Amino acid sequence: MSSFRVGLLGHGTVGAAFDALLRERADAVAASTGRRPELSGVLTSSRGDFDEILDASDLVVELIGGLEPAREYALRALRSRRHVVSANKQLLAQHGEELFDAAREAGVDLRFEAAVGGVVPVVRVVQETLAAAHVERVHGIVNGTTNFILTEMARTGASYSEALADAQRLGFAEADPSDDVDGTDAAAKMAILARLAFGGAVSLDQVTYEGIEHVTADDIAYARELGLSLKLVGTAERVDGGLSVRVHPAFLYAGHPLASVDGSFNAVTIESPTITEITLSGPGAGGSQTASAVLGDVVSAMLPPATPPAPATPVVIVGDVESAFYLHLEVADRPGVLAQVAELLGLQGISVKSVVQRGLGGDARLTIVVHPVRESRFLAAVGLIGRLDFLRVPPRWIRVIEEVFE
């Protein structure tokens, strides 16, 4: 099998995570693309030579950050007909046209999914949606640090500075958080999204932005009375025959698709009369997530245009899976009922997560949620519970899907 040679510029948090992920996923990528990706060289401030790496690479991954020498290296790689993948939002926002021109002239691929929505594939969805639908508006929560801070303020009633300190302690904000909290970071991302959605070059100084430094816990508390939650929202929209691209704190009604995007997550909603709206959400940052977005771009560049899935591999279907369950019992309201039910559950190794008991005259209603257990065990317990003499109607049960993060 031939190899696909990847030159890596930068070896900080994301670079190191990409290096490790590339090794871990090399077999899987080889299976789906027919070529085995391998690092052809690494450039850091203390080692490696750019020209040697360029010569030895089919694709260059730029994870240096900042404008120079990232811009120079990316341009030289494109002009040497190498694909380029970058996670550098400032580079794309400020020198996008120059880079797009170079990629178009050389007929190579320039991908930058990780520069906008972290692991959320907004770049490719906006680009591909654009051709088939007239995009009217893009709304985005595109900065994980500020969304984490606002979520904490809403959840705990903390002040901005308390929530910022928490975010710093937990690694969701940097020691100098200025670019995140003042909206600069989100503004660069919205400039890139506007370019993709509307086809016009939007320079960074055409994006108006405000940050979250002046938001108070009171604002959040009072607005909640009106059913509103506060987010730092980026907007790119067609208006009055032109465009508006801006970032500012905004309240969202509970029904808005971005209103429930909490913590350090990012999300983007694309609105169009034809499609109504599409929303994409996922983790906004983190070394391994960004590395995954970068590797996704590398794999896309490796694939020929029209790849059907690789031939199918054999599968084993598992029947008796684990699930949490909700169990609903209507019982005579007398002592010992809950104890007997709990005993039958316990005999099958089933652990109870929550119980609500409500009186109904001489009867009672028990609604129980149990932790994940093999379905066969749960059904065995329900069979035994169904034979208890104090049961008024047959037990009812429905599966429960646990939260992804608990």
**Catalytic annotation, pick one of 89, 189, 231, 353:** 189
Is 189 a known active-site residue? Answer: yes
CB of 201 to its own copies, least distance (A): 4
CB of 46 to its own copies, least distance (A): 28
Q: Which residues are paired to 369 by β-bridges?
A: 326, 354
* Closer by beta carbon to its own copies, 9 or else 141: 141
| Tokens at 47, concatenated | 């080692």
Burial 358-386 (b: 16+ CB within 10 A, else e): eeeeeebebebebebbeeebbeebbeebe
Amino acid at 221: A
Place of tokens 């404008």: 67
Contact yes or no for 207/217 (Cβ under 8 A): no
* Closer by beta carbon to its own copies, 46 or else 313: 313
Burial 103-119 (b: 16+ CB within 10 A, else e): beebebbbbbbbbbbbb
* Closer by beta carbon to its own copies, 175 or else 404: 404
CB of 47 to its own copies, least distance (A): 27
Contact yes or no for 197/236 (Cβ under 8 A): yes
Q: Which residues are paired to 352 by β-bridges?
A: 370
CB of 89 to its own copies, least distance (A): 16
* Closer by beta carbon to its own copies, 44 or else 161: 161
What residues contact 219, with CB distance under 8 A and at least 6 apart? Answer: 230
Q: What is the C-alpha separation between 316 and 82, in angstroms, rounded? A: 41
Helix (H, G, I), strand (E, B) or coil at 182: coil
CB of 406 to its own copies, least distance (A): 8
| Tokens at 137, concatenated | 């508006």
* Closer by beta carbon to its own copies, 134 or else 334: 134
Report in angstroms the alpha-carbon separations of 349 from 238, 372, 374.
58, 10, 10
Active site (catalytic) residues: 189
